[in-house]
């Protein structure tokens, strides 16, 4: 279903300068990657750890390829970082042997497809705008984003869920603070409801048995 959602964003989602990252729900445009990535990370962990089904890993690879083709490099980097942290938390170097080459290939594909969208100050530069009003306001916004990103560590109610929590927290951290290394949206502050819904879905899935 996750790959279907991403594929739909490409096939029928709104077009902005040739980029398809959204699905239109009435007058609201939702960023599909931000919605599905948190739950996709947890479902992949559960599928492999509990059910021993490698198909979940194949689905994760499909999502990485889709993000590379968009191109959506901030979400791709966040997914790769989450996968690496998840594998490290499980102390599974066999998984890393699969993740690293796929990560390199998808990053090369994505890097070869420059993002045609122009940055928007109140989306990618919201903390800079906040700092111009009040440094304290910018600091508080950053602190809220940091605590929200780290929240999976505190929500994991089972030691077996620690690797999934590590992956999820890494995803939120890397996507949340992507503005530090490029012109990327700032979740919770500079972007719409998609990241908030994604966090709620991921947090709920993490605490559920």
CA 147 to chain centre: 16
- The string of pLDDT tens digits covering residues 78-128 is 989 998 998 898 887 777 888 888 888 888 888 887 776 666 666 777 888
Least Cα distance to 153 among 166, 142, 143, 144 occurs for 166
Q: What is the pLDDT of residue 171?
A: 93
The number of folded domains in the chain is: 1
**Helix, strand and coil in the chain, % to nearest 5:** 70, 5, 25
Integer angstrom CA distances of residue 68 from 26, 65, 71, 78, 181: 27, 5, 5, 12, 18
End-to-end CA distance of the chain: 20
Q: Could you tell me the sign of the dihedral formed by the alpha carbons of 88, 89, 94, 98, in that order?
A: negative
Within 10 A of 123 (CB to CB), how many other CB atoms are there? Answer: 17
pTM score: 0.83
State residue 117 phi and psi, 5-degree precision.
-80, 135
State which residues form the domain around 2: 1-208
Within 10 A of 85 (CB to CB), how many other CB atoms are there? Answer: 21
- The string of pLDDT tens digits covering residues 52-88 is 665 666 667 777 777 777 778 888 899 899 989 988 9
Residues ≥6 apart with Cβ < 8 Å to 113: 68, 69, 70, 71
Tokens of 154: 């505190």
- pLDDT, mean over the chain: 79
Least Cα distance to 163 among 92, 59, 103, 100 occurs for 92
Q: What is the average per-residue pLDDT within 13-32?
A: 68
Q: What is the pLDDT of residue 4?
A: 56
């Amino acid at each position: 279903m996750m790959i279907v959602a991403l594929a739909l964003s490409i096939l029928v989602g709104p077009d902005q300068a040739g980029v398809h990252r959204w699905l239109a729900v009435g007058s609201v445009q939702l960023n599909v990657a931000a919605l599905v990535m948190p739950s996709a990370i947890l479902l992949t962990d559960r599928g492999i750890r509990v059910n021993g089904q490698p198909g979940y890993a194949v689905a994760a690879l499909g999502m990485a390829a889709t993000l590379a083709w968009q191109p959506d490099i901030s979400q791709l980097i966040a997914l790769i970082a989450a996968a690496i942290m998840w594998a490290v938390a499980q102390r599974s170097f066999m998984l890393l042997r699969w993740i690293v080459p796929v990560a390199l290939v998808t990053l090369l594909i994505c890097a070869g497809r420059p993002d045609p969208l122009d940055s928007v100050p109140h989306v990618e530069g919201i903390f800079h705008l906040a700092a111009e009003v009040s440094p304290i306001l910018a600091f508080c916004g950053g602190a809220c984003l940091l605590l929200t990103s780290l929240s999976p560590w505190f929500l994991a109610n089972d030691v077996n869920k620690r690797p999934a929590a590590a992956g999820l927290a890494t995803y939120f951290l890397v996507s949340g603070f992507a503005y530090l290394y490029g012109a990327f949206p700032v979740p919770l502050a500079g972007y719409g409801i998609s990241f908030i819904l994604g966090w709620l879905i991921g947090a709920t899935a993490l605490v559920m048995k």
